[in-house]
Amino acid sequence: MNNPTIAAVVFPARDFNESVAAWSTVFGTGPTFSSDGIEKAPGDADFAVFKSAETEIGLTSMPWVDEPLVLLSTDDIDASRQELIAAGAMPLGEIADGSLAVLGTAPITNGNPETGIVDVPGFRLAVVELADGSKVGLRQPLNSSW
């Protein structure tokens, strides 16, 4: 991944409404998108996105990570993911409690069980753990009518 660009930074939001209120003060407006208000099953995550011309900040109540997660843009998530794995990264996938685990250590419950890649409206997402323990996400836009 030569010269990667940051697509978004996703922050954990354990108190979702408080996090949305806090980031609304930073952007001077509410989120561009929020799952708040959309009917969800009990325990389902909330997600919000704040956007400006140069910046995209996401908030999630899912326990994927306990620190901000940088998502890098890619046109080919499969190739970028493989390149990082070949360089020593470990592929991650979402498990039953909503957190991430190294593929093969627990059943993957959301996304492709072989790759950990998750399709969400408009994007494909993957997360790997680099050799130093840092996590980095990959985001590929989808050409679809979601």
Alpha carbon distance 19, 61 (integer Å): 10
Farthest CA pair distance, the chain: 43
- Can you read off the two tokens belonging to residue 120? 């969400």
- Do the Cβ atoms of 124 and 115 come closer than 8 Å? no
| Full-model pTM | 0.85
Alpha carbon distance 92, 135 (integer Å): 9
User: How does pLDDT run along the chain (146 residues), one tens digit per residue?
Assistant: 677 899 999 999 888 888 888 999 999 998 888 775 554 554 455 788 999 888 899 998 877 888 999 999 999 999 999 999 999 999 999 999 888 999 999 999 999 999 999 998 889 999 999 999 999 999 999 985 54
pLDDT for 53: 87
